[in-house]
């Protein structure tokens, strides 16, 4: 589904990603871990097409198309979704209205009929139930006045409604208490399917107790330094990231295929 080859990304003249190669197939869950400043979030944002993140080299192929050629909104309509680390507030725009516009933009792109308000509300209420989202949250302005936990849950809720083919979760676990973490993880797990892939960016292994990944990759200083199965995350928890700093890097261009779990 996604083929990333030697991806180099710059933010304001500073090279953050220095050649990432990664292949994600439908149905897989990949975790990207790494210490602060290693480039995890940069990777997520580059995939979503954030204008502040300039790709200087490499390629990203998504479902056979050149992802880097697409504008962020096109990527989204093609089924790429990023759950934000810091979801943005949009005052005065109600959450349900926002989501309806987003969903219908996607449906239109897919040649499907746009949902009317009735059908949309029915769909949304069903999804809200799964994520234990208070219906009042639908009527509030997008993220405005939401607590940190509510914002993250709202991101997963958007994902549930938009049903992406590739979901990138950017540190969705940060700022969540255990209960919220469980609810969010349940939401993600409920969406796991053979034709959907996830890239879960996280600093902590904690999230991976709930969302069990097929592969774990470790980013350090803009390069993938280690890939493995789920046990790699546990090892990291035990030994910390320092342990990997000394390890030899995986060269760019080298295919990274972790062991099956």
Task: Name 59's bridge partners.
Answer: 5
d(CA 46, CA 58): 12
CB nearer other proteins, residue 201 or residue 224: 201
Dig out the tokens for 217 from the structure: 């990759």
Dig out the tokens for 38 from the structure: 């290693």
In whole angstroms, how close is the CB of 101 to other proteins at the nearest point?
A: 6
In whole angstroms, how close is the CB of 19 to other proteins at the nearest point?
A: 25
Angle between helix 95-109 and 117-130 (nearest 10)? 110
In whole angstroms, how close is the CB of 137 to other proteins at the nearest point?
A: 16
Residue 256: count of CB within 10 angstroms of its CB: 17
CB nearer other proteins, residue 28 or residue 78: 78
d(CA 249, CA 225): 5
CB nearer other proteins, residue 156 or residue 244: 156
**Measured between alpha carbons, how far is residue 153 from residues 109, 138, 189, 196, 239 in Å?**
26, 12, 14, 20, 31
d(CA 68, CA 61): 8
Dig out the tokens for 205 from the structure: 């292994």
Residue 162: count of CB within 10 angstroms of its CB: 19
In whole angstroms, how close is the CB of 28 to other proteins at the nearest point?
A: 22
CB nearer other proteins, residue 103 or residue 244: 103
CB nearer other proteins, residue 90 or residue 122: 90
In whole angstroms, how close is the CB of 11 to other proteins at the nearest point?
A: 13
Residue numbers at the binding site for other proteins (CB under 8 A)? 48-52, 71-73, 75-77, 81-82, 84, 87-93, 98-99, 101-103, 105-106, 109, 141, 158, 162
**Measured between alpha carbons, how far is residue 118 from residues 65, 106, 140 in Å?**
35, 18, 18
d(CA 65, CA 104): 22
CB nearer other proteins, residue 37 or residue 52: 52
d(CA 208, CA 199): 12
In whole angstroms, how close is the CB of 87 to other proteins at the nearest point?
A: 7
CB nearer other proteins, residue 120 or residue 215: 120
On whether the CB atoms of residues 76 and 166 are closer than 8 A, the answer is no
In whole angstroms, how close is the CB of 200 to other proteins at the nearest point?
A: 17
């Amino acid at each position: 589904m996604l083929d990333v080859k030697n991806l180099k990304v710059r933010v304001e003249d500073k090279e953050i990603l220095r050649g990432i190669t990664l292949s994600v197939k439908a149905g897989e869950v990949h975790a990207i871990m790494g210490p602060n400043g290693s480039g995890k979030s940069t990777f997520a944002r580059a995939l979503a097409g954030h204008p502040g993140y300039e790709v200087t080299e490499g390629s990203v192929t998504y479902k056979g198309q050149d992802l880097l050629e697409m504008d962020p909104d096109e990527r989204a309509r093609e089924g790429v979704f990023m759950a934000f680390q810091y979801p943005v507030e949009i005052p005065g725009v109600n959450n349900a209205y926002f989501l309806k516009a987003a969903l219908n933009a996607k449906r239109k792109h897919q040649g499907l009929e746009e949902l009317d308000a009735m059908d949309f509300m029915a769909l949304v209420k069903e999804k809200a139930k799964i994520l234990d989202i208070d219906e009042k949250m639908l009527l509030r302005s997008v993220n405005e006045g939401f607590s940190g936990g509510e914002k993250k849950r709202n991101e997963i809720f958007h994902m549930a409604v938009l049903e992406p083919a590739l979901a990138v979760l950017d540190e969705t676990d940060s700022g969540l208490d255990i209960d919220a973490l469980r609810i969010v993880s349940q939401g993600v797990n409920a969406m796991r399917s053979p034709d959907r892939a996830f890239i879960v960016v996280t600093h902590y292994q904690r999230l991976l107790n709930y969302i069990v990944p097929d592969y774990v990759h470790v980013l350090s200083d803009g390069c993938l330094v280690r890939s493995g199965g789920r046990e790699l995350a546990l090892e990291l928890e035990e030994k910390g990231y320092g342990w990997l700093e000394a390890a030899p890097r995986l060269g760019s261009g080298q295919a990274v295929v972790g062991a099956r779990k």
